[in-house]
A and B are shown apart, each in its own frame.
Chain A
Amino acid sequence: MSQSLHNPASANGQAQGVDALVLPADWRDFYALTKPRVMSLVIFTGLCGLLAAPGQIHPLIGFCAVLCIALGAGGAAALNQWWEADIDAGMKRTAARPIPAGRMRRTDARDFGIALSGASVITMGLAVHWLAAAILAVSIVYYAVVYTIWLKPRTPQNIVIGGGAGAFPPMIGWVAVTGHITLMPVLLFAIIFMWTPPHFWSLALFVQTDYAKVGIPMMPVVRGERSTRTQILVYSILLVPLAAAPWWAGTAGLLYGIAALALSLAFLALSLPVALRRAVPGDAMKPEKRMFAFSVLYLFALFAALVADRYATTFGVFA
């Protein structure tokens, strides 16, 4: 990380006068590079996977596992912003990020991302479990390379396939406790995998002009609004049985089953107005914004229900 004054815009390949004297990145910029808001969902699902897993883990080792998941996610986010600095500069939503805003050199972000990613995997292996470390490494490579570098600029299915990267944390948490992969962590992975497209496309519908401007082939930009809205509905329908699958498979209890069905049906209900309408010029996109907001709440609530169910079953509240 450079200590000297520099001109990050030149590192980004953007034209800027030599008078643009920029201070070295502040610690807050490095923190922002980890995408803390996205990370909160990653940490939460990872923690829930850990708490819902059968078996015991020392609280300190459990803390280490969650910390490593957070560090790995932060490292992958930093690598994502290193690679996409030019794209971020062209979008209103991301233009204020440390690199496009000119507060950080691109290479600093890359080095920070590699350091965080490497430290998270090695710490996970040494302190927790090497299988959990291997899955963490796969998830970082999946996000930083498969999704960011390969899929995102090439195909409108980017978020469908790339969504797998965000689906790993509960599996990592689970494996940190049990040491092996069973049906349940695979189901948890599948739930987030299926939830990602409607979650992301509802956002893409109201920021699609930004994506179009920078040439990212997001579904609404390439296939159009109608197709995207239909696909949101299809994924929301598929999510209903999938979210309840841990209950049907007998790996989660009644409390989870009721919560999963109620939440998924609410998710489906919110996807209906999104699927059945067409945006008009000057549209406030309220149904899309409502669905996006609920999709975040949905995942938090679903995984909270999983943990509550595990403890309710353990303490005999539910059979």
Chain B
Amino acid sequence: MTPEQEEALKRSRKGRNIALGLVLAFFVVLFYLVTFVKMQG
């Protein structure tokens, strides 16, 4: 693997990890809020 390919691999993996982290954080907040709404209802 060339250094350029290695760099591209790291970039791609980092982008995926950030996207996955944001999605998970979004769902944590969403379920937290939904729980409150359900408890009120």
Contact = CB atoms under 8 A, between A and B. Distances in A.
Contacts of B12: 23-26
Interface string B1-25: 1000100110011011001100000
Interface in A48-97: 58, 60-61, 64, 67
B36 to A, nearest CB: 9
Contact of B9 (A5, A64, A67): A5
Contacts of A67: 30
A127 B16 contact: no
B28 interface: no
A57 to B, nearest CB: 10
Contacts of A1: 16
B34 A61 contact: yes
B37 A21 contact: no
A27 interface: yes
B41 A24 contact: no
A16 interface: no
Given A24-B13, A26-B15, A60 B5 contact: no
A21 B30 CA distance: 39
Interface SS majority for chain B: helix
Contacts of B19: 27, 30
Contacts of A23: 5, 8-9, 12
Interface residues of A, number: 16
B41 to A, nearest CB: 7
A21 B1 contact: yes
Given A27-B19, A61-B34, A61-B37, A3 B13 contact: yes
Query: Among B19, B31, B34, B38, which residue has the most Cβ atoms of chain A within 10 A?
Result: B34
A64 B41 CA distance: 16
Interface residues of B, number: 17
Contact of A60 (B13, B20, B37): B37
A29 to B, nearest CB: 9
A127 B34 CA distance: 7
B3 to A, nearest CB: 14
B5 A64 contact: no
Contacts of A60: 33-34, 37
Contacts of B8: 23
B30 A64 contact: yes
A122 to B, nearest CB: 11
Contacts of A30: 19
A27 B9 CA distance: 13
B15 A27 contact: yes
B37 A58 contact: yes
A26 B34 contact: no
Interface of A: 1, 3, 5, 21, 23-27, 30, 58, 60-61, 64, 67, 127
Given A24-B9, A67-B30, A127-B31, 12 more contacts: A3-B13, A5-B9, A23-B8, A24-B12, A25-B12, A26-B12, A26-B16, A27-B16, A27-B20, A61-B34, A64-B34, A127-B38
15 contacts: A1-B16, A23-B5, A23-B12, A24-B12, A25-B16, A26-B12, A26-B15, A26-B16, A27-B19, A58-B37, A60-B37, A61-B34, A64-B34, A127-B31, A127-B34
